[in-house]
């Protein structure tokens, strides 16, 4: 009985793509000098006795390059939205105007840019580790299949090369995302 390498490769690719999606989401939350709605999307607001994502209590928009706004649907939640933004650790100071919460994005200092670049590198390295763990798991499966005489040594070698190529491709994509994010952070 031979293992189905195509099914295994699809599963590996799906799991590695999932790690890349997480990285993309984490990068969205990293503040650059420009306003980006993704910056606030991960915030949670205390509303109606439970925690809700900010985009479920209002609309986030980017009217200007250095300004985010949150149009809160329920006037009673304006303070909760402001509190969530203040406590987010993003270094933002919201102000409300009726049901509209304005969030000016201050220019980044050089020190803060270096700090953000380090955080971006950590996120990228964590993603590389996740991708390598997926590869290791797949390689272990191949080793076991060969040990159980389900595949030959040559098949093991060929499949291992395919899995490594998939891993290399995903690592390159991580590096490209990191390079793009660093450019974004360092842009004045």
CATH number for the domain spanning 90: value is: 3.30.1360.40
* pLDDT-above-70 percentage for the chain: 95
pLDDT at 3 (0 to 100): 66
> Which range is most confident: 39-48, 98-107, 134-143?
134-143
CA distance 41 to 31: 12
How many domains does one find in the chain?
2
pLDDT range class, residue 15, cuts 50, 70, 90: very high
Largest CA-CA distance found in the chain, in angstroms, rounded: 71
Residue 145 makes CB contacts below 8 A (sequence gap 6+) with 3, 151, 156
What's the CATH code of the domain at 17?
1.10.132.20
**How far, rounded to the nearest angstrom, does the alpha carbon of residue 84 sit from its chain's CA centroid?**
20
Length of the chain: 188
92/164: higher pLDDT: 164
The SS3 of residue 86 is helix
- Residue 22 shares a structural domain with residue 40: no
Note the pTM of the prediction, 2 decimals.
0.68
> Which phi and psi angles does 25 have, rounded to 5°?
-65, -40
pLDDT in tens, 102-128: 988 877 788 878 888 888 899 999 999
Nearest residue to 60 via CA among 75, 73, 79, 76: 73
Q: Which domain holds residue 127?
A: 5-28+109-186
pLDDT at 33 (0 to 100): 64
90/97: higher pLDDT: 97
pLDDT at 176 (0 to 100): 95
- Per-residue pLDDT for 1 more than 50? no
Residue 173 makes CB contacts below 8 A (sequence gap 6+) with 20
pLDDT at 161 (0 to 100): 94
CA distance 43 to 101: 14
| Final residue belonging to a domain, choices 104, 122, 150 | 104
């Amino acid at each position: 009985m031979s293992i189905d390498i195509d099914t295994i490769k699809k599963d590996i690719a799906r799991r590695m793509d999932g790690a890349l999606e997480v990285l993309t989401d984490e990068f969205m939350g990293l503040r650059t000098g420009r306003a980006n709605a993704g910056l606030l999307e991960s915030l949670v607001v205390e509303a109606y006795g439970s925690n809700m994502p900010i985009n479920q209590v209002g609309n986030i928009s980017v009217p200007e390059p250095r300004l985010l706004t949150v149009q809160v649907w329920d006037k009673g939640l304006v303070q909760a939205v402001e509190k969530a933004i203040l406590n987010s650790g993003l270094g933002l100071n919201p102000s409300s105007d009726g049901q509209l919460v304005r969030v000016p994005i201050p220019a980044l200092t050089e020190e803060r840019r270096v700090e953000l670049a380090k955080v971006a590198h950590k996120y990228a390295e964590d993603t590389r580790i996740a991708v390598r763990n997926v590869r290791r798991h797949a390689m272990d499966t191949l080793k076991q299949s060969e040990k159980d005489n389900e595949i030959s040594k040559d098949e093991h070698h060929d499949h291992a090369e395919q899995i490594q190529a998939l891993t290399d491709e995903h690592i390159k994509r991580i590096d490209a995302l990191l390079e793009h994010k660093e450019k974004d952070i360092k842009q004045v």
